């Protein structure tokens, strides 16, 4: 029977069990198809509570290390067990109506062919087909700084700006450059899924910071007092925030909320990673943490959601004294972001394509949000006319994962709250619904009507089990 040695483990025991399982899988001591001991038996062997083992198995399942089979037990996954992720583009052509993946009206993106023709006229084009500094070319960094200042409310220079292969690469670069393995990084109770997987995999400890509640009971900004408490209790070193159009709750922090969090971080020297891919969609001005807490903040900007997902171009912006470490990690991870695709993205910025594209997408988002308000009027929906997704609350006692699985069988993909949470005691139920991936309004309405019917049926409590049977 598999019994991990966690006697000398530091930190939560459930994470130590999950880490030991991951290590044994990686080193071949556990093979695909191997059955793990029953949770109650393993709890007895380790001298821990059943709840601790249950959380460990849940964490292992979230990492796609194990699968549970009703009535049979828990087994080590093989490659064939990995289900298609609702977070990545589908490859099987299933034809489901896609409310899960967050692709903001890609047909409205600028004309790539026209941009490539114009870029090809650049006299020094051949110089882009060469190795360039890992932080990117000076002219591209200047455009990146201007993009951040114009659309995020920043105040940075080209020297504070480095080119990355999109926002996700920027997150990985910043975490691995600013922190040491084992450091504690605070996240929202609901958080960006790719961060949860990537940071834990790289050896960082993520802790959920309690969020304040809005007047309607929905999640608001992180509680500044909880940030201070975490700094004292567990040595909090960093904070990951999405101040505008938080993914998935859509909450946008007020200036007062931002300032309170910045003040809490300043007291304890907590570094802030600010990821704000949706800020450009908002017509009202916002103040980034880069201006409220410049000496401790590293910000990420990206063109993917705005207009250029295929180019994979992003920027990180941070204090001058930290740029060397970031540059080195970019070099170690990819050597450099492609100067060719960076030139295309920068051409669009110079030509005014950002403003034109945002105007078209805001119009489309407002139309889709009105459709959501009409069809889902009886349910709790958080969002806005300039936000690329909404957050739908669940009727009392209804599991969002059960609804997601049911909708998948009915031809609709959607994203349940499970993907946005660390395994911790405060569970939240909800669905993230993307507004811009389905191209035709009539198909979008059809998907919403199927969702509405499911929520009504499961919420009634009469046929939920029957529907899933």
For 279-308, write each residue's pLDDT tens digit: 999 999 999 999 999 999 999 999 999 999
Query: Is residue 141 located within the same domain as residue 165?
Result: yes
Query: Is residue 347 located within the same domain as residue 390?
Result: no
pLDDT tens track for 132-184:
999 999 999 999 999 999 999 999 999 999 999 999 999 999 999 999 999 99
Query: Is residue 230 located within the same domain as residue 142?
Result: yes
Q: Are strands 381-382 and 389-393 parallel, antiparallel or unpaired?
A: antiparallel
Q: Indicate the residue among 300, 328, 351 that finishes a domain.
A: 351
Query: Is residue 136 located within the same domain as residue 201?
Result: yes
Mean pLDDT of the chain: 91
pLDDT for 4 equals 93
User: 366-375 — which CB contacts under 8 Å span 24+ positions?
Assistant: 367/441, 368/435, 368/436, 368/441, 368/444, 369/435, 371/441, 371/444, 371/445, 371/448, 372/433, 372/435, 372/448, 375/445, 375/448, 375/449, 375/452
Judged against a pLDDT cut of 90, whether residue 341 lies above it is answered with yes
Q: Indicate the residue among 313, 333, 351 that finishes a domain.
A: 351
The answer to whether position 107 is within a domain reads no
Query: Is residue 185 located within the same domain as residue 308?
Result: yes
Query: Is residue 223 located within the same domain as residue 340?
Result: yes
Question: pLDDT-derived band of residue 424, with 50, 70 and 90 as boundaries?
Answer: low
**What is the extent of the structural domain holding 447?**
97-102+355-468
CATH number at residue 58: 1.10.10.10
pLDDT for 417 equals 92
Q: Where does residue 47 rank: exposed (0-12), middle (13-18), buried (19+ CB within 10 A)?
A: exposed
Lowest-pLDDT range of 25-39, 168-182, 374-388, 437-451: 25-39
The answer to whether position 5 is within a domain reads no
pLDDT tens track for 352-406:
999 999 999 999 999 999 999 999 999 999 999 999 999 999 998 888 988 998 9
Judge whether 243 and 237 are in contact, CB under 8 Å: no
CATH number at residue 277: 3.40.640.10
pLDDT for 64 equals 80
Query: Is residue 279 located within the same domain as residue 136?
Result: yes
pLDDT for 85 equals 61
Query: Is residue 345 located within the same domain as residue 370?
Result: no
Bigger pLDDT: 103 vs 244: 244
Lowest-pLDDT range of 126-135, 203-212, 414-423: 414-423
Query: Is residue 275 located within the same domain as residue 135?
Result: yes
Q: Where does residue 300 rank: exposed (0-12), middle (13-18), buried (19+ CB within 10 A)?
A: buried
Instruction: Supply φ then ψ for residue 236, to 5 degrees.
Output: -55, 125
Judged against a pLDDT cut of 80, whether residue 80 lies above it is answered with no
The answer to whether position 170 is within a domain reads yes
Cα(368)–Cα(361) distance, integer angstroms: 10
Query: Is residue 235 located within the same domain as residue 294?
Result: yes
Structurally, how many domains does the chain consist of?
3
pLDDT tens track for 237-277:
999 999 999 999 999 999 999 999 999 999 999 999 999 99
pLDDT for 106 equals 93
pLDDT for 200 equals 82
pLDDT for 93 equals 56
Query: Is residue 198 located within the same domain as residue 295?
Result: yes
Q: Indicate the residue among 351, 376, 409 that finishes a domain.
A: 351
pLDDT for 264 equals 98
The answer to whether position 404 is within a domain reads yes
Query: Is residue 430 located within the same domain as residue 385?
Result: yes
């Amino acid at each position: 029977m598999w019994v991990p040695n966690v006697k000398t483990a530091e930190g939560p025991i459930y994470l130590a069990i999950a880490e030991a399982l991951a290590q044994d899988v990686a080193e071949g001591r556990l093979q695909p198809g191997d059955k793990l001991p029953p949770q109650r038996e393993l709890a007895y062997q380790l001298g821990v509570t059943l709840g601790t083992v249950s959380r460990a198995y849940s964490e292992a399942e979230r990492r796609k290390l194990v699968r549970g089979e009703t009535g049979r037990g828990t087994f080590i996954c093989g490659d064939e067990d990995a289900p298609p992720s609702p977070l990545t583009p589908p490859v099987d052509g299933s034809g489901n109506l896609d409310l899960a993946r967050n692709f903001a009206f890609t047909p409205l993106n600028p004309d790539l062919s026209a941009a490539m023709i114009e870029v090809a006229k650049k006299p020094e084009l051949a110089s882009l087909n060469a190795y360039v500094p890992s932080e990117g070319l000076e002219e591209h960094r200047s455009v990146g700084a201007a993009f951040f200042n114009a659309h995020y409310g920043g105040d940075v220079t080209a020297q504070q700006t480095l080119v990355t292969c999109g926002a996700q690469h920027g997150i990985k670069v910043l975490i691995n450059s600013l922190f040491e393995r084992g450091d504690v990084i605070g996240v929202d109770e609901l958080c960006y899924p790719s961060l949860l997987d990537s940071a834990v995999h790289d050896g960082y400890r993520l802790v959920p910071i309690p969020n304040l509640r809005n007047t309607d009971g929905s999640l608001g900004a992180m509680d500044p007092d909880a940030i201070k408490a975490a700094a004292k209790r567990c040595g909090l070193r960093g904070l990951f925030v999405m101040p505008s159009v938080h993914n998935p709750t859509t909450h946008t922090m007020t200036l007062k909320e931002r300032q309170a969090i910045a003040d809490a971080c300043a007291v304890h020297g907590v570094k802030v990673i600010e990821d704000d891919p949706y800020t450009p969609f908002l017509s009202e001005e916002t103040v980034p943490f880069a201006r409220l807490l410049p000496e401790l903040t590293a910000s990420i900007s990206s063109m993917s959601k705005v207009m250029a997902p295929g180019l994979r171009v992003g920027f990180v912006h941070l204090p001058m004294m930290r740029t060397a470490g970031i540059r080195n990690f970019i070099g170690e991870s990819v050597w450099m972001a492609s100067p060719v695709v960076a030139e295309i993205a920068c051409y669009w910025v110079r030509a005014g394509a950002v403003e034109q594209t945002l105007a078209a997408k805001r119009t489309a988002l407002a139309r889709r949000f009105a459709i959501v308000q009409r069809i889902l009027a009886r349910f709790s929906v958080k969002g806005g006319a300039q936000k690329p997704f909404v957050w739908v609350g669940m009727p009392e006692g209804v599991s969002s994962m059960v609804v997601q699985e049911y909708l998948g069988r009915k031809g609709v993909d959607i994203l349940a709250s499970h993907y946005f949470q660390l395994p911790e005691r405060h569970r939240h139920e909800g669905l993230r619904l993307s507004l811009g991936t389905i191209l035709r309004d009539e198909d979008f309405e059809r998907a919403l009507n199927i969702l509405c019917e499911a929520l009504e049926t499961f919420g009634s409590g009469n046929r939920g089990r029957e529907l899933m049977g």
